Structures are given as C-alpha cells and as structure tokens.
Copies of this chain bind each other. A is one copy, B any other.
Amino acid sequence: MALRNDLLLRAARGERTERTPVWVMRQAGRVLPEYRATRARAGSFLNLVRTPELACEVTLQPVDLLGVDAAIIFSDILVIPEALGLPYTMDEGRGPHFEHTIRNEQDLLRLSASEMEGKLEYVTEAIRMTRRALDGRVPLIGFAGAPWTIFCYMTEGKGSKEFSVPRRMLMEQPALAQRLLDMITTATIEYLRAQVRAGADLVQVFDSWAGALSSDMYSRFAIPALDRIVRSFPDVPVTLFSKGAWFALEALSELPCQVIGIDWHTTPAFARKAVGENKTLQGNLDPAVLYGSPEEIRRQTREMLTAFGPRQHIANLGHGVYPDIHPDHLRCFIDTVQSYQHHQP
C-alpha cells in the first residue's frame, strides 16, 4: 500500500522533503487523556502491551489526535527478556522489576531464545492491526531495546542510576557477559524481522542506558551488537538512539544505519560534526521546554529547526515526552514543526 505521507521515510533516506517530519517519543502514552482511558480499561500497563486491540488503539491515538507524521507501535522494550525467560512486573511509579536476574552461567543456561516470533506474536499482531487501521496515512515505526540496555535490566533487575551490576559483569565475567549480549542480539534481530514482516516501515533501537558506560566500554560491548542488528536490515531504515552517549556518536556514525537519534544535551552542530554528512539526525528539543509558554515552545522549536537545517532531520524531542505535559503544548511543538518554512538556498 502506498503511503500518503512518507516524509519520515524520505527524510530517513536523506531525500529532500517539502518540510521536516515530526513524531514524538512516548507520543502514545500518558500525556494523552485518551491513552489514560484505554490504559484504565486494560487494567494494567502489561495488559495493555499484551492485548493487540488495545495496543493498536493507543498507537493510533497520536496520529488521530496530534497529527504526527509517524505512528510507533505501542509496546515495551522488556518484552524481549520476558520472551527469553525472565518475567517482570511493572510497579506503578517505580518502574520495572525482575524477580530473577542473570548473575552466572547457571542463570544464563535457564534462558531460551527459541521461538521468539511465536512468543511475541501479540506485538506482531498489534502491528498488523495498526497497519490496516492506518490505511497508508503515515509510516509505522517498530522498535526494540538495544542489547546493552536489555542486558542492564536482565542483570540489575530494575532501573538504576549507576547500573553497577551489569558494569561489574562486563569487568569480572566478560565472556559470560558477551554470551548474554549475543543471545539478546540474536533474539532482537529475530523480533525486529518479525515486526518488519508484520508491516513496520522503519525500526528504532533504543539504548536508554548507553550513558552508563565509558566510551571505551561502549565501543567494546555495545557497538558490536548494534552493528549486527543494523546489518540484518539492509532494506529497512534503522534509527539508533543511544541516550546519553554523546561520546559514541562517531562510532555510531560508522554503522550502516540511516538515522541517529540525539538527546537534548547534544547541540545539532555538535551532533552533525560528530556524525558527518551521511546520516539523518533525529531529535532533540529538551522535553522540559514543553513546560514553557506556547511562545517559548515556538521560539525554541524554530531555533532547533534552523540549527538542523532543511534536510536529513526528523524532528522529535530529545527524550520521551513527560506525562504531565499539557497536550496543547505538545500540539504546539508539532504544529510549529509542520508549519515551519525553511529558507531554502
């Protein structure tokens, strides 16, 4: 089916577009009252993730209500550890929690990477339903967590400021750590392939805890896994978003991905210099700017658009939108991007 709005895909490929496309990380989420209503019907976050009809419903909401230029399937990066054999709970206000974690070889041997596609059928079914419902309006983004970030959760068992458990494992048991990273990477590739077969037009890999590592450790343990993933998708645009890893932008730019996401600490000029001319950049308004007045949001959004320039840019925030942002402020950001006219040379 031909897309009626393919701005995202053309921008990802570096082609000239009439205007800069825009979508928002966590656009299908608590910022929308309509999401909160569906979430209440689901009973829990995990039920929402696991029920294709409801996941499809919240995926469509920002397309219908905010007019974004892309949908991103509603799901969770932690479905991968769960499918590998580590179930988790999502505690309200506290984040995810794994009862069992991986600390030694015995723990690792209990995992199974077989039949990932079958175990994650609820995600691919949600993608198929969403594709049908979108009916070519905008592209659909699939996603997964990056192996390093998934490794963090599987070893630490929860969010952390320091992630000293996974970093300790990299130092003390590098061979075991590598085996776990390889297993996660293989499972992630299979999972993303299933998403593409189900209809994802672009896939994004979120390395939320990239910023916990030094540049050296990121290059040794995280980059090779990302490289394997990117090379598995020669025909689909891939976005890599390594949050907090400004120091890894050069290493990321050497991978054959199309788009690199940048957070709000990195200026567009710094990112472009580190990444070079061959990639599209995605980002990066400070999410806290949406707490400001509409005038301030417009001013800073335009400043960002000017700094990135008219090509090779997909507008987004530098991180997920905060749940207590007023939806009108999010609309103001999106509208400002969509009505902005670059002074083309």
Known: A162-B322, A215-B265. A291 touches B247 (CB 8 A): no
A:175-220 near B, CB below 8 Å: 211, 214-217
Whether, in the assembled complex, A273 has its beta carbon less than 8 Å from a beta carbon of chain B, the answer is no
A322 contacts which of B164, B211, B287 (Cβ < 8 Å)? Answer: B164
A296 to B319, CA, bound (A): 35
B159 A286 Cβ-Cβ under 8 A: no
A171 B247 Cβ-Cβ under 8 A: no
A266 to B25, CA, bound (A): 27
Whether, in the assembled complex, A161 has its beta carbon less than 8 Å from a beta carbon of chain B, the answer is yes
A291 to B173, CA, bound (A): 10
Residue of B nearest to A174 (CB): B292
Whether, in the assembled complex, A342 has its beta carbon less than 8 Å from a beta carbon of chain B, the answer is no
A61 to B109, CA, bound (A): 43
User: How near does chain B come to A116, taking the closest CB pair, in angstroms?
Assistant: 29
A171 B215 Cβ-Cβ under 8 A: no
When distances are taken between beta carbons in the complex, the residues of chain B under 8 Å from A287 are 162, 164
Whether, in the assembled complex, A235 has its beta carbon less than 8 Å from a beta carbon of chain B, the answer is no
A161 contacts which of B159, B170, B266 (Cβ < 8 Å)? Answer: B159
A265 B217 Cβ-Cβ under 8 A: no
A168 B215 Cβ-Cβ under 8 A: no
A171 B296 Cβ-Cβ under 8 A: yes
When distances are taken between beta carbons in the complex, the residues of chain B under 8 Å from A289 are 171
When distances are taken between beta carbons in the complex, the residues of chain B under 8 Å from A90 are none
Classify the secondary structure of A's interface with B. Answer: helix
Whether, in the assembled complex, A264 has its beta carbon less than 8 Å from a beta carbon of chain B, the answer is yes
Whether, in the assembled complex, A91 has its beta carbon less than 8 Å from a beta carbon of chain B, the answer is no
A214 B171 Cβ-Cβ under 8 A: no
Residue of A161, A172, A286, A288 with highest tally of chain B CB at under 10 A: A288
User: How near does chain B come to A170, taking the closest CB pair, in angstroms?
Assistant: 7
Residue of B nearest to A288 (CB): B167
When distances are taken between beta carbons in the complex, the residues of chain B under 8 Å from A318 are 214
User: How near does chain B come to A76, taking the closest CB pair, in angstroms?
Assistant: 17
A193 to B286, CA, bound (A): 36
When distances are taken between beta carbons in the complex, the residues of chain B under 8 Å from A164 are 287-288, 291, 322, 324
When distances are taken between beta carbons in the complex, the residues of chain B under 8 Å from A217 are 286, 288
Write 22 A-B pairs (CB below 8 A) sorted by A numbering: A159-B161, A161-B161, A162-B287, A162-B322, A164-B287, A167-B286, A167-B291, A168-B288, A168-B324, A171-B288, A171-B296, A211-B244, A211-B265, A214-B264, A214-B265, A214-B286, A215-B267, A217-B286, A244-B244, A244-B265, A247-B266, A247-B267
Besides A162-B319, A167-B286, A217-B288, 15 other A-B contacts (C-beta < 8 A): A164-B291, A168-B291, A168-B324, A170-B288, A171-B288, A214-B265, A215-B267, A217-B286, A244-B244, A246-B247, A246-B265, A247-B265, A247-B266, A247-B267, A247-B270
Give the interface of A toward B (CB within 8 A). Answer: 159, 161-162, 164, 167-168, 170-172, 211, 214-217, 244, 246-247, 264-267, 270, 286-289, 291-292, 296, 318-319, 322, 324
Which 8 pairs show the lowest CB-CB distances between chains A and B?
A: A167-B288, A171-B291, A171-B292, A168-B291, A214-B286, A164-B322, A214-B264, A247-B265
